[in-house]
Amino acid sequence: MGNPDHIQLTLWGAGTARTLRPIWVAEELGLDYRLEPIGPRTGETKTEAYTALNPKQKIPFCEVGTVKLSETVAICRYLVARFGNAPRLSAPESIEEAAKEDEWLSFIYGELDETSLYVMRRHGALSNIYGEAPAAMASAREYVLRMLKVVETALEDREFLLQDKFSLADLFLTTCLNWVLNYELPLANALQAYRDRIILRPAYLRAAEANKPRQ
């Protein structure tokens, strides 16, 4: 499809659930983009050149012309707002729809990602950095399973979180469900079916391939 006005889009970061999100958005929107597949904790985010771009020294990071953004929600919302198209992935059509999308994004990123799944990552795979914390791990596991019941209930009468429209909320949720399965946590049949259906999207398949960490 190409980019309107031939704007250069560059995405930094690969290999994590969070870096998958902007890559997936770019693929859904049919955008031409350059991927700099730097990884976390490789030293690549701490170089002088990258720090000049993103003083937070985190990934993902996005550069669209003169616009520079970090944080996955901000990056993805900007890309959809600027380049969204209805057949694939579009911005909310009303204030009410935008509010519902914000509600789900806040819940998914705050309650599933940061509060529970990333806590498990910190004190599991990254325990050599952040230390072991069995009580925190157990609490986070119980919490994420409880929060997933909220999602399961919401999807009982709809195809997507925003009724019949695939949105950023579904994209973020699917990446968290991948994370849940990677941790070998139980996933309700309805959520498993929802996730299995969404990962068949061609844009997801392309993004997942692009997001693979470098060997």
Tens digits of per-residue pLDDT, 62-114? 999 999 999 999 999 999 999 998 788 988 999 999 999 999 999 999 999 98
- Residue 29: pLDDT band (50, 70, 90) is very high
pLDDT computed for residue 1 by the predictor: 56
Q: Read out DSSP for 114-126? A: IIIIHHHHHHTTT
pLDDT computed for residue 5 by the predictor: 63
Q: What is the pLDDT of residues 176-214, one digit of tens each?
A: 999 999 999 999 999 999 999 999 999 999 999 999 987
pLDDT computed for residue 213 by the predictor: 84
Domain map (residue ranges) of the chain: 4-89+204-210, 95-201
Q: Cβ distance 191 to 151 under 8 Å?
A: yes
User: Mean pLDDT across the stretch 55-65?
Assistant: 96
User: pTM (2 decimals)?
Assistant: 0.93
Longest Cα pair distance anywhere in the chain, in angstroms? 52
pLDDT computed for residue 4 by the predictor: 64
CATH topology assigned to domain 4-89+204-210? Glutaredoxin (3.40.30)
- Residue 2: pLDDT band (50, 70, 90) is low
Angstrom distances, CA of residue 81 to CA of 63, 75, 168: 15, 10, 11
Instruction: Say if residue 20's pLDDT is above 70.
Output: yes
What is residue 108's three-state secondary structure? helix
Q: Cβ distance 18 to 60 under 8 Å?
A: yes
pLDDT computed for residue 136 by the predictor: 81
Q: What is the pLDDT of residues 112-146, one digit of tens each?
A: 998 888 778 776 666 777 787 788 888 888 999 99
CATH architecture for the domain at 95-201: Up-down Bundle (1.20)
Instruction: Say if residue 215's pLDDT is above 70.
Output: no
Same fold, 4-89+204-210 and 95-201: no
Nearest to 129 by CA among 37, 190, 40: 40
